[in-house]
Chain A
Amino acid sequence: DGGITQSPKYLFRKEGQNVTLSCEQNLNHDAMYWYRQDPGQGLRLIYYSQIVNDFQKGDIAEGYSVSREKKESFPLTVTSAQKNPTAFYLCASSYRAGTPVYGYTFGSGTRLTVV
């Protein structure tokens, strides 16, 4: 079955450490997205990519980095510069922006906790 796989499901980070969250899709979607979800704040866009080797900052990109070397993969690195990284991270994908617009398919999420 096609879908999006996020790993790990739970991740613990020590102060000053960089960690990388994995996101892989086999839906042949062009666009991929990373969101952060905190209680009471809804979904906030971190980075998005519409084609391989290209990505754009979202609303809260500071302290995060991404790469898009393959169509199927869009890993997110949470750097030590992100001061409050504890959150639920969601990866999503969709067909490329155009007409009609398509809904996103989401992964099952990674819960990151700073220890």
Chain B
Amino acid sequence: EDQVTQSPEALRLQEGESSSLNCSYTVSGLRGLFWYRQDPGKGPEFLFTLYSAGEEKEKERLKATLTKKESFLHITAPKPEDSATYLCAVKGGNNRKLIWGLGTSLAVNP
């Protein structure tokens, strides 16, 4: 069964303290892995798509990487405005739908 697990469930950082969020997945024939950011009371905002192991993508302080079993979202020198819930989703070859993780709630203190 296709499955996505995100860890940690919640993370609190000091401003400038770099860290990583994890997304572990089990899927038959990965076709894409997606990272989203969601602010309270709003819809998820698309960040990255990764298609194959070894791929990396960057956007400002965020960098997403992908292996055959997991993806990491690295946050370098975070700022309070990076506080949000980060969601991971995968699409496999046998499934027409995205499989979503439960998210990591990130709080960055000034």
Contacts and interface: CB of A to CB of B under 8 A. Distances in A.
B102 interface: yes
Contacts of A48: 97
A101 B103 contact: no
A115 interface: no
Interface stretch (B19-27, B44-52, B59-67, B76-84): B44-52
A48 B96 CA distance: 10
A63 interface: no
B32 A106 contact: no
- Which bracket fits the contact residues of B? 20 to 34
Interface of B: 31-32, 34, 36, 41-46, 49, 51, 87, 89, 91, 96-98, 100-103
A109 B38 CA distance: 11
Interface in A74-115: 88, 90, 92, 97, 99-109, 111
B42 A109 contact: yes
Contact of B44 (A90, A99, A101, A111): A90
Given A101-B32, A101-B49, A103-B49, A42 B97 contact: no
